[in-house]
Structure 1
């Protein structure tokens, strides 16, 4: 699966949020504020994971393998990824 620009931008935003959290911690800011930011990062990562999983499922159906056995394996693999979420 290719990584599109939308996902890369979301990852970069989450990375920036993590750097901000590190700065907050080094500045000894309030625990509540840090936890709020950590929750926002977790939500962002969860969203990215959902987007990637759904794009993978869509790819399984829009670009099926010619061999039915291989297609079934692609779908099983995609379903396992969703179960891990």
Structure 2
């Protein structure tokens, strides 16, 4: 699954960023630089979350439509997942 690998790659990149931030703190780097990197990690996590929720919604909608079911619940669940993360 191509999308799954994209998500895994993003998470591995974020993991590396977090290790970098840890090292910066251990080396007592400039606070501004640390905050900049933490902000970048946060932004990357938010984009990854949005991708995961979007792919989940897409799959749920596709499954429900194929079964002839109402997709409203899947849409509401996706919205709740996104609003909880904010």
Q: Name the counterpart of 1:77.
A: 77
C-alpha displacement at 1:80, in angstroms?
Answer: 1.6
Q: Name the counterpart of 1:15.
A: 15
Aligned-residue Cα RMSD (Å) equals 1.9
Q: Name the counterpart of 1:68.
A: 69
CA distance in 1: counterparts of 2:79 and 2:25, whole angstroms? 38
Q: Gaps spanning 5+ residues in structure 2: where? A: none
Give TM-score scaled by structure 2 length. 0.81
Q: Name the counterpart of 1:55.
A: 55
Q: Name the counterpart of 1:26.
A: 26
User: Contact (CA 8 Å) 2:57, 2:78: kept in 1 or not?
Assistant: yes
Number of equivalences: 82
1:30-68 CA-partner distances (Å, limit 9, x unpaired):
000000000000000000000011111111221117373
Instruction: Detail structure 1 runs of 4+ shifted over 2 Å in the superposition.
Output: 65-69, 71-79
C-alpha displacement at 1:73, in angstroms?
Answer: 4.0
Q: Gaps spanning 5+ residues in structure 1: where? A: none
